[in-house]
Amino acid sequence: MEPSAPSTIRGVIDSLRSSVLQNDTATASASQKITASSSSSSSQNAEASSSKGKGKAVEPALPVNEDQLKVLMDMMKMMPPKVSTFFKIPDGIGPRWQDFFQRVTLFFEIDSNSDPDALPALEARKNLMDAQNLSELEMYMNASHFKKQGDAEVDEDIFKAKIWFTRSVMTFPLPHACAAMMFYAYKSNEFALAEKYGTKALRMDLLTDSWSIGQVYYMRAHARYRMGQMQRAKEDIILSKHYDPLNADADALLGEIDKLRDVLRHPELVKAWVREQPQFEPELSVGEEFRKLEEISFIYARFTPEQLERVKTDDEKYCPVF
**Each residue's pLDDT tens digit, 291-307:** 888 888 899 999 999 99
- Residues 178 and 221: their CA atoms lie apart, in Å, by 16
Provide the residue type at 30 as one letter.
A
Q: How many CB atoms lie within 10 A of CB 110?
A: 23
Q: What distance lies between CA 318 and its chain's CA centroid?
A: 23
Using the predicted structure, report yes or no on whether residue 57 has a pLDDT greater than 90. no
Q: How confident is the model at residue 286 (pLDDT cuts 50, 70, 90)?
A: confident
Please answer whether residues 118 and 111 qualify as being in contact, where contact means their C-beta atoms are separated by less than 8 angstroms. Answer: yes
Phi, psi of 242, deg, nearest 5: -65, -45
Q: Is the pLDDT of residue 179 over 60?
A: yes
pLDDT for 85 equals 86
Query: What was the pLDDT predicted at 178?
Result: 95
- Cα within 13 Å of Cα(257), Cβ side: 25
User: What is the pTM for the complete model shown?
Assistant: 0.71
Contacts of 181 (CB under 8 A, 6+ apart): 162, 165, 166, 169, 193, 194, 197
Give domain limits for the chain: 7-79, 95-295
CA dist., res. 57 & res. 76, Å (int):
38
> What does the pLDDT average to over 131-143?
95
Alpha-helical regions (H) of the chain: 7-52, 66-78, 95-114, 118-132, 136-153, 158-171, 175-187, 191-203, 210-226, 230-243, 248-263, 267-275, 286-295, 305-313, 315-318
Superfamily of domain 95-295: Tetratricopeptide repeat domain (1.25.40.10)
What's the pLDDT score for residue 192?
A: 96
